[in-house]
A and B are shown apart, each in its own frame.
Chain A
Amino acid sequence: MCSASPRWCGSPGGESPDVMVSLDQVLATAPPVLFALIANVLLLTLRASAGSLGFIHSRRLFHLLDAMIVLAFVVFIALVVVRFETLD
């Protein structure tokens, strides 16, 4: 049961934000996060496919893919932090 947690579980009395942020502000930081998310998903799926099916034979190419994944993940987390900082 979830009665003891008004923040996480909500309360019928209302959950309006403590600060007012315009919809434009909310939307402005969303596309970069979304792009980074999609890039991460695509790169990770590509790596898993390559790892399972073995269609990337070059070890150097595999290391390059790993580096791109690390970069995309770091950028994604950074963009999320920026979004939190901007809107909260």
Chain B
Amino acid sequence: MKNLLRSASAGARPSSSGSIALGIVGIILWFVAVRRADFLGMGPLGLVTVLPWAYFVGLAAVVVGFGIELLRTPLRPNRLLLLVLALIVVMFGTASAVEPVARLEDSYLLAGFVEYIFQHGHVLTNFDARFSWPGAFSLGAVLVAFVGKSNALDFLRWFPLVIEILYLPPLLVIAKCSDVGRRAGWLGVALFYASNWIDQDYFSPQALNFLFYLVLLAAVFACWKPTQRARRLIQAGFRGRIVELWGRFGDSWTSLRRVRFAGRDATTVYSSWVTLVLFIMLELLLFASALSHQLTPYASIVALGVCLISRRLGRPELVLLAMVFTVGWLSLGATNYWLGHLSAIFGSLGQLGSTFGSNVTSRITGSTTHLLVVDARILLIAGLFVLVGVGALRRASESRTLELLALAPFSLLAAQNYGGEGLLRVVLYGLPFTALLAASAVLPRRFATVPPLVPNFAFGPHTRTLLRLTVVPLVLVLALVTVVVRGGNDAYESYTSGELNAVNYAYNHVHAGETIGLVTSYLPIGQRDVGSVQIFAASEAGGVPTLHYDEHELLKTRPRFIILSQSQEAWGELLESYPKGWETKMEGVLLRNGYRVAARWPTAVVLADSKK
């Protein structure tokens, strides 16, 4: 690839600082766009509906700058790094900059858990399954104390941007140490960010544990390499090709030899002491991960196992340690969770049909606009996996670790459907590697021990132009689709200041033991009085949510306060097909049944029970 680019570089070489100028223009346009965006004008398609044209021009400028810099000779990593950082800011800083308060109700609830540990010094038992894995909440409480705050609310708004930037160093190490070319590595990092719509980067244990996961694999990739093998010769002719492929298939069984499981097919350039210190640090990292998240430790076990059998891990003890920590914490630390309902953990073992149903089929519901967002998400992932297939066929490599790491997380679905969210998570765990393989579809490595499965083809003097015409649209299309689908739920998952004020009003006036009622939990709520004030969401009471059902449940439960708000109204219209303006009708019903208006904001109203 390097030679091809060199030979093609004699022609139009862009100016040396043009790419950075485009990056700066992109950031300036992004800044103008987020200043002009009218959050209150958000439509059913979410965040994208409030972004002015300047945003899209800015995003395009950053991507074009990246494309120019990526295909320039010589490669300038510092400039590529700046352009990737610009891409991260434009992709992941927009919601934080446009929306007046932090999005996603779960981030508020998890901030409430942090506050509870900060105030009481221990977890609340028999309250929430997530308290059985309290490591991340405890770390949050330590941070709250360290910065002298009383809660974690100040961390929420910009957390997605910060954690995405923290993902960058391990991603760069993985890209550098995996056996793709340098350009493919940079393109893979850009594709990771351009296609990460999965929205697991909010203030949460899974966001922190994904960082642990990346650091673990980056360390393994940096430390261990496959032992050198003789390069396989490519046979001429169709028959020779078949014989060669058959031989490679036969060779793949060697991965099950004892020597492979002992880690002796991987080698390291580090000294013995450095390797041991790294091993102990990874041991601590696995321990921290085991007690702070339910799913990531299992993904780590699978990933380490894959690294071992594909000659990228020289210390098999790490796989066993990951198992011991994970199963040990489940058995000892998470007793409060599994006591009495162990079937919730092991019940879906092998039930692939129901897992697929809860992860995919049940999610394709709602209004036409919501379905559009869901379909776009599925298409984006499908498109990425098509590129993965092409990349796997085209690239030469030292081992097939990337392919295995891209696919291995799916094995977790056979064991657990994870409440219908398993598929999202396994796609995320595989994304760093699918992105690198997708990059290899465009910029494959030509020569390595394991030759490509399909013959190479070249475009002569037009190679560079064609690559630019491929790279820029590829990253840009993925980034644009991600901008649309990532913020596609923001009509009900992002909140106004009025909604937060309404929640604070209710918390300021409710007493311990009383209940705050909602139609659905899409509200910035849960951040205070964890365990002492109940939150009741009528649509989540167990029945099939309908307007009449929600009214009936609220009147039956009679919470001290009921909050109706803009985001809940959008949820009803988009996901449950409630009639437009349904909250006004519900407010009337509640007012006729003993509730009065306690406080009102343009986007939220708090109703109080007149009899209490």
What residues make up the interface of A, taking CB atoms closer than 8 Å to B?
1-19, 21, 26, 30, 33-34, 37, 40-41, 44-45, 47-49, 51-54, 69, 73, 76-77, 80, 83-84, 87-88
Across the interface, do B317 and A44 meet the contact criterion of CB distance under 8 Å? yes
Query: Contacts A8-B419, A8-B421 given; 20 further ones with Cβ under 8 A?
Result: A1-B493, A7-B129, A7-B341, A9-B129, A17-B341, A30-B332, A37-B328, A40-B320, A40-B324, A44-B317, A45-B283, A45-B317, A48-B279, A53-B273, A69-B320, A73-B320, A73-B324, A88-B338, A88-B339, A88-B342
In this assembly, does B344 line the interface, its C-beta being within 8 Å of a C-beta of chain A? yes
- Of listed B204, B315, B339, B540, residue having the most chain A CB within 10 A: B339
In this assembly, does B114 line the interface, its C-beta being within 8 Å of a C-beta of chain A? no
Report Cα–Cα, A41/B20, bound state, in Å. Answer: 50
Task: Label chain A's interface by main secondary structure.
Answer: helix
Across the interface, do A7 and B419 meet the contact criterion of CB distance under 8 Å? yes
Measured CB to CB, the closest approach of chain A to B92, in angstroms, equals 16
Given known contacts A7-B129, A44-B320, is B106 in contact with A2 (CB within 8 Å)? yes
Given known contacts A15-B127, A15-B128, A52-B276, is B317 in contact with A4 (CB within 8 Å)? no
Given known contacts A19-B340, A54-B272, is B129 in contact with A10 (CB within 8 Å)? yes
Report Cα–Cα, A84/B337, bound state, in Å. Answer: 12
Report Cα–Cα, A45/B536, bound state, in Å. Answer: 48
Q: Which of B315, B341, B358, B419 contacts A2 (CB 8 A)?
A: B419
Given known contacts A7-B419, A41-B324, is B534 in contact with A12 (CB within 8 Å)? yes
Report Cα–Cα, A18/B344, bound state, in Å. Answer: 12
Residues of B within 8 A of A88 (CB): 338-342
Contacts between the two chains (Cβ within 8 Å), count: 147
Given known contacts A73-B324, A88-B338, is B344 in contact with A12 (CB within 8 Å)? no
Count, chain B residues at interface, CB 8 A: 59
Report Cα–Cα, A4/B357, bound state, in Å. Answer: 13
Across the interface, do B127 and A8 meet the contact criterion of CB distance under 8 Å? no
Produce 1/0 per residue, B183-221, CB < 8 A to A: 000000000000000010010101000000000000000
Residues of A within 8 A of B65 (CB): none
B 315-330 contacts with A by CB, 8 A? 315, 317-318, 320-321, 323-325, 327-328, 330
Residues of B within 8 A of A49 (CB): 276
Across the interface, do B276 and A14 meet the contact criterion of CB distance under 8 Å? no
List 6 A-B residue pairs with CB atoms under 8 Å apart, sorted by A's residue number: A12-B526, A37-B324, A52-B275, A80-B331, A84-B338, A88-B338
Residues of A within 8 A of B321 (CB): 40-41, 44-45
Residues of B within 8 A of A4 (CB): 358, 419-421
Residues of B within 8 A of A12 (CB): 109, 127-128, 526, 534-535
Given known contacts A15-B128, A51-B315, is B339 in contact with A5 (CB within 8 Å)? no
Closest B residue to A70 using CB positions: B320
Across the interface, do B280 and A45 meet the contact criterion of CB distance under 8 Å? yes
Report Cα–Cα, A80/B332, bound state, in Å. Answer: 9
Measured CB to CB, the closest approach of chain A to B296, in angstroms, equals 12
Report Cα–Cα, A73/B341, bound state, in Å. Answer: 25
Report Cα–Cα, A16/B338, bound state, in Å. Answer: 10
In this assembly, does B182 line the interface, its C-beta being within 8 Å of a C-beta of chain A? no
Measured CB to CB, the closest approach of chain B to A85, in angstroms, equals 9
Q: Which of A17, A40, A51 contacts B340 (CB 8 A)?
A: A17
Measured CB to CB, the closest approach of chain B to A80, in angstroms, equals 5
Residues of B within 8 A of A30 (CB): 332
Q: Which of B130, B279, B315, B317 contacts A9 (CB 8 A)?
A: B130
Report Cα–Cα, A17/B129, bound state, in Å. Answer: 11
Report Cα–Cα, A53/B534, bound state, in Å. Answer: 56
Report Cα–Cα, A52/B315, bound state, in Å. Answer: 9
In this assembly, does B294 line the interface, its C-beta being within 8 Å of a C-beta of chain A? yes
Given known contacts A10-B130, A26-B339, is B534 in contact with A48 (CB within 8 Å)? no
In this assembly, does B30 line the interface, its C-beta being within 8 Å of a C-beta of chain A? no
Closest A residue to B420 using CB positions: A4
Q: Which of A3, A17, A34 contacts B339 (CB 8 A)?
A: A17
Q: Which of B130, B317, B335, B421 contacts A87 (CB 8 A)?
A: B335
Closest B residue to A84 using CB positions: B342
